[in-house]
Structure 1
Amino acid sequence: MGDLIEEWATQVAEAELRSTLPRRWAHTQGVAKRAVEVSQVLGQDAGLLVAAATLHDVGYAPRLAATGFHPLDGARFLHDEHGAGERLVRLVANHSFALLEAEERGLKGELSTEFPQLEEPLLVDALVYCDMTTTPDGDRTTAQDRVTEIRSRYGDDSVVGRFIRRAAPEIFASVERVEAALADQPR
């Protein structure tokens, strides 16, 4: 089952991002690669993590950008057009502390009502780890450097800048928890 959902996720993300947003596609591929690397800490949810990592930014696709808030737009697309599973859709909708950004955008109620956060801490943390340790070009980075890059790209006074400053402590804590889980894995 895991391989099928991963293949499907790659097909969907590639169709939506590769030609219209090639840099976002490169980031997506890097995030998916991180997910494969950390998936051993998730057991039966490994395929779900890889699929969510592959689809986390699909809402940036121009044809899907209804609200301009990519986690919500992506989750709605996956739910409405593909009938994707609830856990996958909720992971995409809430990836990397999206609820904090939704609050900045006045969309917190919509996001939390339509797609409540999952109460699966390690799975949620693993997706944060994958996203926040990958550069816009798909390369590996530290969470600290990624947050700095986002702040410099968007500016501290922008919606994204305000969100990332608020989310940074949570992002760093998620990354630390995943790194600790990885360190506990037998080699």
Structure 2
Amino acid sequence: MAESEDTKKMVTLKSNDDKEFEVEEAAIIQSEMIKNMIEDGCATGVIPLPNIDSKTLTKVIEYLNKHISKDEDEDEDEADDKGKAVETGEEDDLKEFDEQFVSMDWEELFDIIMAANYLNIHELMELCCQSAADRLKNKSVRAVREMLKITNDLTEEEEKEIINDAPWAFEGPEIDDTVN
């Protein structure tokens, strides 16, 4: 078994701040973009990722490494156990990891969403977008604007008209600890 660990195929990724990362091919092929590059023979050297900084790439690689066995097992089990949801210790560990993984500030979460989108990593994208949606859920318009750093481009008259037409849109809790 030690021999197979030593012969793992590695892929080198280069962030936009020129840091290189050696990643197992089994982990990085969760990225549809990289998987297609490998299949087409375009990933023979260092793969530059001009849209991702090293801090974000480190987090993405952490996620991919944790989810290697999950994805391989799912592919094999999907054909055999379609429709059966069996909770295992590993699945519980992954759920706990995912919950911990997305407990970060907004800026870092959005950087990972952008990286997941760029690399075409569906599960990571869904996880991070769900976390963002959960944080925004039931917040007032003012709270959402503040959380997402959106400037109000409405005049006072326009905003009053909207409040009169749809007062429910301005209801909800203001900023709380779910912002971070």
**TM-score (norm. length: structure 2):** 0.30
Q: Which has the higher helix share?
A: 1
> Who wins on radius of gyration, i.e. which is larger?
2
Larger RCO (CA within 8 A; separation ≥ 6):
1
Q: Which has the higher strand share?
A: 2
**TM-score (norm. length: structure 1):** 0.30
